[in-house]
A and B are shown apart, each in its own frame.
Chain A
Amino acid sequence: MRYVLRRLGFFALTLWAALTLNFFLPRFMPGNPLQALRARTHGKVSPEALQQMLTSYGFKPHQNVVSQYFAYLGNMFTGHWGVSIGATLGQPVRQIIGQALPWTLGLVGVATVLAFLLGSLIGVLAGWRRGGMLDSVLPPVFVVTSALPYFWVGLLLILVFSVWTHGWLPSDFNYDTSLQPGLSPGFVGSVLQHAVLPGATILITAIGAWILTMRNNMLTTLAEDYVRMARAKGLPDRRIMFDYAARNAMLPNLAGFAMSLGFVITGSILVEYVFNYPGLGYELYNAVQNTDYPLMQALFMLFTVAVLLALLICEFAIAVLDPRSRARA
């Protein structure tokens, strides 16, 4: 119980640190967001509306910093994220995020989980036959793929599967805009088709790390006494591989999975940018291009919360799966 409380405390603290960073960065950095806003909205927006936007952004130059700060924290938690001041001028930030979120979850989420599962499976097989064909070929290959820049893999895929094949696979946007969104087969097919290349990009670049770490964990686990014991009992190989070795080798990877989500977000921003895929990463890029501070702040908070949530879920999963971690805590 104490352990759970400590972990929750850590997450709360991290979230607070991220939010605080988010609040003070624009205030300490050279270049005033206010000026940027005034320059952007020059002539287009009445002073009152501007004032209101600033307020919703939490930027009240007349109040002291402390009360601004607490108002900002309150707004972040209650979902009062303000109004976009970028290209989508006047649109509530929540609405923008609500539109983009499902696409990112669908594309990046599925691709990431797939990479994790597939990579772990290949890693188990490679580690099981130490020095075998799979094991001697895969590691060097995937050391290289895990060092590839996400966006470059995306560009390469576009070139090969879209440009050279004259639009065999779409390289732009999330669905064919001539179709009416709905649950019709045509629309769903279009969505899937548009997800192939960006999904493959994430898969290719993310899978290497899982194969390598899983293989390495496998090697460590296979040297354990309980595996030897299982062999001595004459259990079938498949049973030893999956029920004895892989299950234990998986545990450190599970923690790594949550940690890696930060990198996934990184990758997804670039992938979404390359493919013009209107998810959260693409919105962040737009927000940056248009100095849309409220949107930036809300997105950054959302990314942090996503990573923390994933970490939390994984930690409790590990605590349930691995009695040793409970004992350690």
Chain B
Amino acid sequence: MTALLVDTSGAPPVETVARRRGGFLGAVRRSRKAQVGLAMLFVFCVFAVVPQLFTSVRHPNDLAFAPRLPPSGAHWLGTTALGQDIWAQLVYGTRESLVIALVAGAFATLLSVVVGVSAAYLRGVGDEVLSMIINIFLVIPTFPLIIILATYAGKGTLPVVLIVLIVTGWSYGANQLRAQTLSLRNRDFLEAAKIRGERRSYVIFAEVLPTMTSLILATFLGAALYSVLTAAGLQFIGLGDPNSISWGTMLYWAQNQQALQTGTPLWSIAPGLCVALLGASFALINYAFDEISNPALRPVRGRRRRRARG
């Protein structure tokens, strides 16, 4: 019944052999897109960990400077209409955006794995119920739901935003993981494990999950991308914590003060660009992965051929 919801034929059978040698690192070495994406991600990680190395401002939210200064040596990107250094806010804001991406991405992925794999393993009624839940979460429009949830929950402390992102961000991955697990179920090495008398938990953790590492990673990247964009959107329309230091909050204040119309366009363009770059870094790594090793998206025939060869 889920046949039409599951996109089973998608990515090309490009360079399918790559994964066999070198796995993740080999994949990265081969793909320019992955290298660019990882490099950007690395830069953001450095910003997030040691922001004080890149700016002399220690409290970027303090209204410490003259408002609306143009970019200069002292203020690389100028100052906001409220008198904050834009570059400093940008650097310090990296941390929250990155934390949201990584934490929400990781927990959403965990949920995807748990629900997706157990749905495929339970079969029967259990599978029916779980896939039903997955599909319902897939089609319910999440952003309105997020907005409403965030409003009801009292707007935006970080935990609220995180929980909301996790609850709404797991279903796509779960769907893919379920499809992939189903296609793995009857493989020889799993049959062998069953005949050896291994426990089911052992089979899942030691045999099934390692085989799906790349798909799980791809799920994580997708969820992280979703979280970055959605969190920025939420904060932008004012459902985040207005006192936090993050790119989305900067965008909110910039919009609030009409930055575009009043001659401080960098205030709203720069944090948006950072969100875009962070999102692009996840998307690039993810796309490189898709190209190299997304078994769920690989056509069946290609898979069989490869198995026969190896």
**Which residues of A pack against B, CB within 8 Å?**
3, 6-7, 10, 13-14, 17-18, 21, 25-26, 29-31, 33, 139-140, 143-144, 146-152, 155-156, 158-159, 163, 212-213, 216-217, 219-220, 223, 252, 255-256, 259, 261-263, 265-266, 269-270, 273-274, 284-285, 288-289, 291, 296, 299-300, 303-304, 306-308, 311, 315, 318, 325, 328-329
Contacts and interface: CB of A to CB of B under 8 A. Distances in A.
B233 interface: yes
B43 interface: no
A287 B260 CA distance: 25
A217 B283 contact: no
Given A14-B136, A163-B260, A284-B147, 15 more contacts: A147-B225, A147-B282, A148-B280, A149-B232, A152-B232, A156-B269, A219-B14, A265-B143, A266-B142, A266-B230, A269-B143, A285-B147, A288-B148, A296-B148, A296-B151
Contacts of B283: 143-144, 146-147
21 contacts: A14-B135, A29-B153, A147-B225, A151-B251, A152-B272, A159-B269, A163-B265, A223-B299, A255-B4, A255-B7, A256-B7, A259-B139, A263-B143, A273-B237, A284-B147, A306-B141, A307-B139, A307-B140, A311-B139, A325-B4, A329-B1
Contacts of B8: 252
B139 A155 contact: no
B217 interface: no
Interface string B1-19: 1011101111111100000
Contacts of B299: 220, 223
Nearest to A154: B272
A7 B135 CA distance: 12
Contact of B239 (A144, A288, A299): A288
Contacts of B265: 159, 163
Given A29-B152, A140-B284, A288-B151, A266 B11 contact: no
Contacts of B269: 152, 155-156, 159
A144 B280 contact: yes
Contact of A18 (B140, B237, B273, B287): B140
Given A216-B11, A318-B4, A163 B232 contact: no
Contacts of B153: 29-31
Given A152-B275, A291-B151, A14 B9 contact: no
Given A10-B132, A140-B33, A155 B5 contact: no
Interface residues of B, number: 61
Contacts of B13: 219-220, 223
B122 to A, nearest CB: 19
B172 to A, nearest CB: 9
Contacts of B99: none
Contacts of A263: 143
A159 B11 CA distance: 36
Nearest to A253: B7
A69 B3 CA distance: 33
B4 A300 contact: no
B184 interface: no
Nearest to A319: B4
Interface string B135-170: 110111111110111011110000000000000000
B305 to A, nearest CB: 11
B7 A252 contact: yes
Given A252-B10, A259-B5, A270 B279 contact: no
Contacts of A213: 10
B243 interface: no
B4 A315 contact: yes
Nearest to B172: A259
Interface of B: 1, 3-5, 7-14, 33, 132, 135-136, 138-145, 147-149, 151-154, 225, 229-230, 232-233, 236-239, 251, 255, 260-261, 265, 268-269, 272-273, 275-276, 279-280, 282-284, 287, 290, 297, 299, 302
A269 B272 contact: no
A304 B136 CA distance: 10
Contacts of B272: 149, 151-152, 155-156
Nearest to A262: B141
Contact of A149 (B142, B239, B275, B302): B275
A149 B276 contact: yes
A60 B132 CA distance: 32
A58 B118 CA distance: 38
Nearest to B281: A147
Best-buried of B4, B5, B132, B261 by chain A (most CB within 10 Å)? B4
B237 A285 contact: yes
